[in-house]
Chains A and B, each alone.
Chain A
Amino acid sequence: MNEIQLIQALQQGDKNAFSFLVQTYQHMVFNTVLSIVQQQEEAEDVAQEVFVQAFISITKFRGDSKISTWLYRIAVTKALDHQRKKKSKKRFGLLKNVFGIGLQEEMVADFYHPGVQLENKEKSAILFKALQNLPSQQRVAFTLIKIEGLNYEDTSIIMQISIKAIESLMHRAKLNLRNQLINYYQSNK
């Protein structure tokens, strides 16, 4: 089944075509979402939502980009939305702490990406923690290029900005990460 046939079948509500779509792109979507959400169960839930959303809004898909590009966009949007909601919940939790209700959660590097080599496990956890503090655009560009392994051109198509803008985002992301790591290692000397 080629892409055009797949899109047509999906637009007709074909469940088998949907199953094929999930089978083909599940790892790609899951890896992207996991790198942003950084929690296995939550990432699975968000990744499921990505496919459900894709099925529901397939009629709006004009086919002017690849299915993978379209799925990347939905995945990134859903994952960032999830993070935003989680952060606002945390802020509310912090407010509760101010009034003496509940205990404050300790900030620790606790996410271990399953695809990282064992010897890099601890260092990558620190990097993933620092990634959470990047502005969303920088974070998405860094995730797609460094973790998903996409090139600058594909990333620019997904993010719908120029390659120059992607280069700039990556430069600023690396600078931000570097500054965070300097602070981290200086305070943990």
Chain B
Amino acid sequence: MKNIEIQIAETLNSIDDIQKAEAPYFFNTRVQAKLNQRLASIETPWLPKWKPIWAITTLTILLSINIFSVTQKYKSKKTNSTNNTETANFEGFSNTYNLNSALPY
């Protein structure tokens, strides 16, 4: 335990005479470049920032349009096929009973 106490004390005192770390070379230049980049992005606020929410929103809108158009197409197809069936039925009926308009009365 005494050994541990010494180690703890040494560890706590290990930073007593610590020197300050210095910023790396060309730090100032890099900061200037970063600032210019940031200012340029602030000056063009009309450009939307790329965020996941934009991707999700765009995807949702595209999916909705797709689903809507597919549903519409399916509906119109169904209506057309019903009309066609009705026409076919009507023609069949006319043919069966010789009710063609070409018949002379």
Which A positions have Cβ atoms within 8 angstroms of B?
A: 15, 18-19, 22-23, 26-31, 34-35, 40, 44, 47-49, 51-52, 55-56, 113-117, 120, 123-124, 126-127, 146-149, 174, 177-178, 181-182, 185-186, 189
Contact = CB atoms under 8 A, between A and B. Distances in A.
Interface in B30-52: 30-32, 34-35, 38, 42
B21 A31 contact: yes
18 contacts: A22-B27, A22-B31, A28-B20, A29-B23, A30-B24, A40-B24, A49-B34, A52-B38, A113-B18, A117-B17, A123-B10, A124-B15, A148-B20, A174-B12, A181-B7, A182-B4, A185-B4, A186-B4
Interface string B33-76: 01100100010000000000000000000000000000000000
A27 B14 contact: no
B41 to A, nearest CB: 11
- SS of A interface (majority): helix
Q: Give the top 4 A-B pairs by smallest Cβ distance, nearest first.
A: A115-B19, A30-B23, A123-B14, A120-B14
Given A127-B12, A127-B15, A185-B4, A27 B23 contact: yes
B23 A146 contact: no
B18 A116 contact: yes
B11 A22 contact: no
Contacts of B18: 113, 115-116, 124, 146-147
Contacts, number: 102
B31 A115 contact: no
B101 interface: no
Given A18-B35, A22-B31, A52-B38, A27 B15 contact: no
A120 B17 CA distance: 10
Contacts of B38: 52, 56
B21 A23 contact: no
A22 B27 CA distance: 8
B26 to A, nearest CB: 10
A177 B11 CA distance: 10
B15 A113 contact: yes
A149 B8 CA distance: 21
Contacts of A19: 28, 32
B4 A30 contact: no
A23 B7 contact: no
B72 to A, nearest CB: 42
A55 B33 CA distance: 13
A18 B35 CA distance: 10
Nearest to A44: B24
Given A117-B17, A147-B18, A178 B12 contact: yes
Contacts of B27: 22, 26, 30, 44, 47-48
A26 B28 contact: yes
